[in-house]
Amino acid sequence: MSVRVAVDAMGGDHAPEEIVKGAVLAAREYNIPVQLVGKLEKIRAELGKYNTKDLDIELVRADEVIGMDEAPGSALRKKKNASIVVTVDQVAKGNSQALVAAGSTGAAMAASLFGLGRLPNIDRPAIGVLLPTMDKPVLILDAGANSACEPEMLYQFAIMGSSFLSAVLGVENPRVGILNIGGEQGKGNPLVQQTYRILEEKQETLNFIGNVEGREMFMGYCDVVVCDGFVGNVTLKVTEGVAKMVMELFRSEVNKSLLAKIGALIAKPALMNMKKKTDSDEYGGALLLGIKGICVIGHGSSKAYAIKNAIKLAKESVEGDVNGKISKLYELSRT
- Tell me the pLDDT tens digit for each residue of 207-257: 999 999 988 888 888 999 999 999 999 988 888 888 778 778 877 877 888
- Give the pLDDT of residue 60: 95
Quickly name the fold that domain 123-280 has.
Isopropylmalate Dehydrogenase (3.40.718)
Crossing angle, helix 83-92 and helix 105-116, to 10 degrees? 30
Report the residue count for the chain: 335
Quickly name the fold that domain 1-122+290-320 has.
Isopropylmalate Dehydrogenase (3.40.718)
Percent of the chain exceeding pLDDT 90 equals: 56
User: How far does CA 298 lie from the centroid of its chain?
Assistant: 7
The model's confidence at residue 272, banded by pLDDT at 50, 70 and 90, is low
- Give the pLDDT of residue 37: 96
Which tens digit of pLDDT belongs to each residue from 105-149? Answer: 888 999 999 999 999 989 999 999 988 777 788 999 989 888 889
The answer, yes or no, to whether residue 270 has pLDDT greater than 60, is: yes
Mean pLDDT of the chain: 88
C-alpha to C-alpha distances, 64 to 42, 78, 79, 85, 208, nearest whole angstrom: 13, 10, 7, 9, 45
Please, where in the chain does CATH 3.40.718.10 lie? 1-122+290-320, 123-280
Which tens digit of pLDDT belongs to each residue from 34-87? Answer: 999 999 999 999 999 999 988 999 999 999 988 888 888 888 888 889 999 999
pTM for the model stands at 0.87
The answer, yes or no, to whether residue 268 has pLDDT greater than 80, is: no
CA–CA gap between residue 225 and residue 174 (Å, rounded): 10
| Amino acid identity, position 156 | Q
Alpha-carbon dihedral 209, 211, 212, 214, rounded to 10 degrees: 160
Using an 8 Å Cβ cutoff, are 11 and 101 in contact?
yes
Alpha-carbon dihedral 138, 139, 144, 146, rounded to 10 degrees: -130
- Give the pLDDT of residue 111: 92
**For range 167-175, the mean pLDDT:** 91
DSSP string, 15-36: TTHHHHHHHHHHHHHS---EEE
- Give the pLDDT of residue 311: 95
CA–CA gap between residue 266 and residue 190 (Å, rounded): 51
The model's confidence at residue 289, banded by pLDDT at 50, 70 and 90, is very high
Using an 8 Å Cβ cutoff, are 6 and 99 in contact?
yes
Using an 8 Å Cβ cutoff, are 110 and 104 in contact?
no
